[in-house]
Structure 1
Amino acid sequence: MTTNNAPQSAVPSDGPVVRTVTGSVRGLQENGLAVFRGIPFAEPPVGELRFAAPRPATAWDGTREAYAFGPPPPQDLGIQGRTGVLEALEGDDWLTVNVWTPAPDPSARRPVMVWIYGGAYKLGHSGSPGYDAQRIARDGDVVVVTLNYRVGMEGFAQIEGAPANRGLLDQVAALEWVRENITAFGGDPDLVTVMGESAGAGSVSSLLAMPRARGLFRRAVAQSVPGTFFSLELAEDIGRALAAEAGLRPTVADLATTDPRRLPDVGQALGAKMLQYVDRWGRIAPTVTPFSPVVDGDVLPTTPWQALASGSARDVDLLVGHNRDEFRLFLVMGGMYGSITEEQATGALRLFAPGGEAGERAYRAAFPEASAGELYERVQTDWLFAMPSLRLAEAQVAGGGRAHLYELTWGAPGSGGVLGACHGLDIPLLFGTFEADLANLLWAGAGVTPEAEALSTRFRTAWTAFARTGDPGWPAYDTTDRSTQVLDTTPAVTAYPEETSRQLWEGCDFVPSPLLR
């Protein structure tokens, strides 16, 4: 028997076949790689499994055709291009993995790199063209796995009767699939690196702190770690507000009556008016993202910074960093770049800087020549991505582990060069997918320059070297020299470049965002 999950026109008869623990899969030979798409690692989380922890996939007879990406999980519309898919099917089989391998030879034992997509915990799909991993697998001679996990209300809303952090539990289930199956694809289950960007980096950071994930990976790459982790009390309050948008209670019994493809509308409706909740939800409200990992005391016992500082991941090598101009992307996409007022800057500084009004004064004193727009951008880059990423490296070192730190300072050439080293720029540089996702902004009017290609190669060389050896090619971070790899046209290792911001945030703990009274 053959199980068909791809268009008939795409079905060859001589593709590579691999036996997994649940059945055989047939892939495609593409550009010197064997590629397998849409392999289930868990049962579809619908019906009786709605809002439940993932359950292992049911075995099948015969050979399953692994030619097409599995369907995306229900999600927000999001950033244009981020939900773009390549040959993706419709259906409920959201929990699937994809594998790129130089050869499915069980004796090869190549390093394995597992990518976890970002998207504010409310959107994302491993089939997005920007995550085509062929260049990483081919250039680095590694096996690359990408995976789907539940986002939005399905994956992260706090719901009575459901486990917290279901999206994170999906990721653990996918890593368990890797441990059990990757040898057959030519990978080494003892040499697994998890990596992700933005919410994907927040997920990687969470996995470092989760007892359920212990032992499933040897190394971790976290690109632009967001500092948004919810306390249980805050998550429950947001869960009530989400359910109220649908006229329901935040319970499995109520919410399971709603089609999962309609629930993203609830998240979007609440996101559009989150600023009304700033007195209750604080810094979280302006993010318009009502989803994040929840420090629930069980699935996620503590924040990643607390866990790493206590030594929870001292046996895991860490590569972590951020982009210099992270928040610029959101200013440009929101039509706010170049139009921030002093009043807006003051409001942002008092809300996001540590210390409220004292934090505002400290930022203005530290950056005396900065305009209102520069201050507005700087403090939001710092609190949302830069300082959480830096602190993750510092926590890992404090806990007796090893960390390598980087900052991307090369600016995107498109859109008149205004984007700088913005959020998300590292994705096409790592994957070499210059025509996908945010390409209409990042390269518009400029095209892919030789400098971009060279930096892209440098990304893949460093990331795959780290996956293989734990050394990306520059010194490990410590709190004396603060060695940081600056990724630009001319690479350099320096002390951490954002020292002014580091000092402003020194001594400020990253704790779960509280529910304000």
Structure 2
Amino acid sequence: MTGESYESADGSAEPVVRTTAGAVRGRREGGLAVFRGIPFAEPPVGDARFQAPRPVPAWDGIRDAYTFGPPPPQEVGIQGRTGALDAPMGDDWLTVNVWTPDPDPAAPRPVMVWIYGGAYKLGHSGSPGYDARRIARDGDVVVLTLNYRVGIEGFARIDGAPANRGLLDQVAALEWVRENITAFGGDPGQVTVFGESAGAGSVASLLAMPSATGLFRRAIAQSVPGTYFSDELARDIAAALAAEAGLRPTVADLSTVNPRQLTAAGQTLSTKMHQYEERWGQVVPTQTPFSPVVDGEVLPTTPWQALAAGAARDVELIAGHNRDEFRLFVVLGGRFGKISDEEAAAALRMFGPGPDGERAYRGAFPDASPGELYERVQSDWLFRMPSLHLAEAHIAGGGRAHMYDLTWPAPGNGGVLGACHGLDIPLLFGTFDADLGSLLFAGTESSPEAEALSSRFRAAWTAFATTGDPGWPSYDTERRLVQVLDADPQVTPYPEETSRRLWQDHIFAALPLIK
């Protein structure tokens, strides 16, 4: 039963909606009905820990949906990136939040489902930077945000547990949408998934996962990471993670440690990954021991391989990136303006395409400084080329894709951050003073230019969710037209053509265990 919407029995203005598990009461805020912390699966603790998500038990009466559910256990991350970790503590991590213009099943609206990023080890749907009121209100759409397990709980490849539990959580949330969103005024046949960074990697994974087939019609992938682990690599990393806690990488062993204490193993390993460079290769400099695992079952192949084979040809796609993706990490690491030629050379050898990536990059960008080369190759390897190749793979498989490139520089901190990784989040949500936005817009007032670009983001994303057309031409391998998002947005041929050519023959395969 999809349920129905009705006013509460005491005559208050608070909206009450009946889901398949029971009724929930939300609040009216700024012309929207908002519901927070609705469970979509059983808490993944006890005998449910490290297992695929299980159906949420039904409840009697009306459950208040006023506050966000607790964040999943996670490490301490980049300041502002984890967001509202002052949320209630508890085990009910697997919850959704809904912003709807009107919970009326008779007038269904398009649905947008946000998946947060955070290197697959951080994130919480209740973070202030993900306040979806502006998207729902400006676009007249229903917006849903969700929690999923991160770090060891969600992505470590351990014996006795399915791979990619965090991705399975996302599938369970999308199944909840299919079964319940009508009661909130949403159209289950018009669902768009969208996410940034690890959220975009999750979106790309969902496109390739058989269990997610048919659960969404459109997808938006903002800065797709190119890191997917082979099963062998993932198991080797999991063994190292467990060893940090003095355990074996099994459900039986890891279940003996409290989930919120086990995060320390991941945090410690992140600082010691340089010891494993000969085995783990390109994973090591990312300091992120978690990524989706190409296990052959939950995720049968990489997204690029799956899309090129036509796995999601009926799903319409937006993919894109930011011009200065890696700048954020250079600045936060205190390395901006300090990169030596030796450091640039090492990065070019580690991440450049082909047998001689250093020579290829130096020849293609002869006037680039060491810092520019260092940033460019890592921006290309980690985010820009994976995003471009995702669109091109989708087209090769018979699908339709649109591309964008965000080139507008973040105004905070004297503009040093440029169009860096994560800038699209505060622009899309209009949350300039929350989470990462408080860094990227630090010391500045919200300008008309920023507000206009923010509105353009929301208009394009919600138009795509509604019609499949974001307002610019689809991408193809002849004209290569891309929407450049700046103070003066323009449609131009792909702006990073030099990098595109360097990477055109590269295959983004699952990262191997080096033996």
Could you say which residue in structure 2 is the equivalent of 1:183? 182
Provide the identity percentage. 76
Aligned position for 1:472:
470
Residue matched to 2:329: 330
- In the other structure, the counterpart of 1:7 is none
After TM superposition, the structure 1 = structure 2 runs for residues 67-78 of structure 1, keeping only pairs within 5 Å, are: 67-78=66-77
Q: Is the contact between residue 27 and residue 35 of structure 2 (CA under 8 Å) also seen in structure 1?
A: yes
Is residue 2:15 matched to residue 1:25?
no
Cα-to-partner distance string for 1:426-472 (whole Å, 9 max, x where unaligned): 00000001111123321122222111100000000000000001110
Distance 1:177 1:88 in 2: 23
Give the letter aligned to residue 436 of structure 2. L
Change (3 A) 1:260 1:340: same
Q: For residues 371 and 219 of structure 1, what CA distance do their matches in structure 2 show?
A: 40
2:367 is matched with which residue?
A: 369
How far the C-alpha of 1:354 sits from its partner, in A, is 1.2
Does the CA contact (< 8 Å) of 1:69 and 1:86 recur in 2? Answer: no
Q: What residue is the counterpart of 2:393 in the other structure?
A: 395
Aligned mate of 1:406, from 388, 404, 426? 404
TM-score between both structures, scaled by the size of structure 1: 0.97
Matched residue type, 2:386: P
Alignment of 1:33-432 (within 5 A): 33-85=32-84, 88-356=87-355, 358-432=356-430
SS in 2 for 1:194: strand
Q: 1:439 aligns with which of 434, 437, 440?
A: 437
Q: Kindly state the Cα deviation for residue 86 of structure 1 after the two structures are TM-superposed.
A: 7.7
Matching residue's letter, 1:401: G
d(CA) in 2 for partners of 1:466, 1:84: 28
One-letter amino acid matched to 1:70: G
Unaligned runs of 5+ in 2: 1-9
Matched-pair contact (CA < 8 Å) for 2:83–2:123: no
* Residue number in structure 1 paired with 2:483: 485
CA distance in 1, matches of 2:498, 2:418: 19
CA distance in 1, matches of 2:366, 2:55: 57
- Is the 2:209–2:299 contact (alpha carbons within 8 Å) kept by the matching residues of 1? yes
Secondary structure of 1:484's match? strand
> In the alignment, which residue of structure 2 is the partner of 1:462?
460
Amino acid at match of 1:237: D
- 1:76 is displaced (CA, Å) by 1.1
- 1:321 is paired with a residue whose SS is strand
Q: For residues 34 and 69 of structure 2, what CA distance do their matches in structure 1 show?
A: 14
* Structure 1 gaps, min length 5: 1-10
Partner of 1:3 in structure 2? none
Q: Corresponding residue for 2:6?
A: none
SS at match of 1:441: helix
Does the residue aligned with 2:260 lie in a helix, a strand or coil?
Answer: coil
Q: Which deviations, in whole Å up to 9, do the C-alpha atoms of 1:42-86 show, x marking residues without a partner?
A: 000000001000001000000000000000000011111222218
**How far is 1:88 from its partner?**
2.1
2:439 and 2:102 map into 1 onto residues whose CA distance is 36
Asked if structure 2 preserves the Cα contact closer than 8 Å seen for 1:38 and 1:69, the reply is yes
Q: CA deviation at 1:142?
A: 0.1
Deviations 1:10-67 (A, max 9, x none): x995410000000000000000000000000000000000100000100000000000
- Paired with 2:438 and 2:25, the residues of 1 have a C-alpha distance of 35
Contact 2:483-2:490 within 8 A present in 1 as well? yes
Superposed CA offset, 1:262-303 (max 9, x none): 111100100001112111111110000000000000000000
Contact 1:68 1:87 in 2 (8 A): no
Q: May I ask how many residue pairs the two structures share in their alignment?
A: 506
Residue aligning to 1:5: none
For residues 177 and 41 of structure 2, the distance between their equivalents in structure 1, rounded to whole angstroms, comes to: 12
Secondary structure of 1:261's partner?
helix
Could you report, residue by residue, the CA deviation over 1:191-250 in whole angstroms, capped at 9, with x for unpaired residues?
A: 000000000000000000000000000000000000000000000000000000000000
**Helix, strand or coil for the counterpart of 2:259?**
coil
Partners of 2:266 and 2:12 lie apart in 1 by 43
Amino acid at match of 2:435: D
Distance in structure 1 (CA, Å) of the matches to 2:450 and 2:29:
25
Distance 1:12 1:279, change over 3 A: farther
Q: 3-state SS of the aligned residue for 1:272? A: helix
Q: How far does the alpha carbon of each residue in 1:148-174 deviate from its partner, in whole angstroms, 9 at most, with x for none?
A: 000000000000000000000000000
> What SS is found at the alignment partner of 1:71?
coil
SS at match of 1:262: helix
Shift of 1:108: 1.2
| SS of residue in 1 equivalent to 2:372 | helix
Structure 1 runs (4+) deviating above 4 angstroms are none
Tell me if the contact between 1:414 and 1:447 (Cα under 8 Å) persists in the aligned partners. Answer: no
Matched position secondary structure for 2:52: coil
Alpha-carbon distance change, 42 to 145 in structure 1, aligned in 2, over 3 angstroms = same
Q: What are the Cα deviations for residues 347-392 of structure 1, in whole angstroms up to 9, with x where unaligned?
A: 0000000124x11001000000000000000000000000000000
- Comparing 273-282 with 44-53, greater Cα deviation is found at 273-282
- Report the residue type matching 1:246 in the other structure: A
Q: 1:479 to 1:146 in 2, by over 3 A?
A: same
Q: Match for 1:508 among 488, 506, 509?
A: 506
Matches of 1:240 and 1:31, distance apart in 2: 49
Q: Distance in 1 between matches of 2:11 and 2:431?
A: 26
Structure 2 matches for 1:444-455, cutoff 5 A?
A: 444-455=442-453
Q: Is the 8 A contact 1:111 1:192 kept in 2?
A: yes
TM-score (norm 2): 0.97
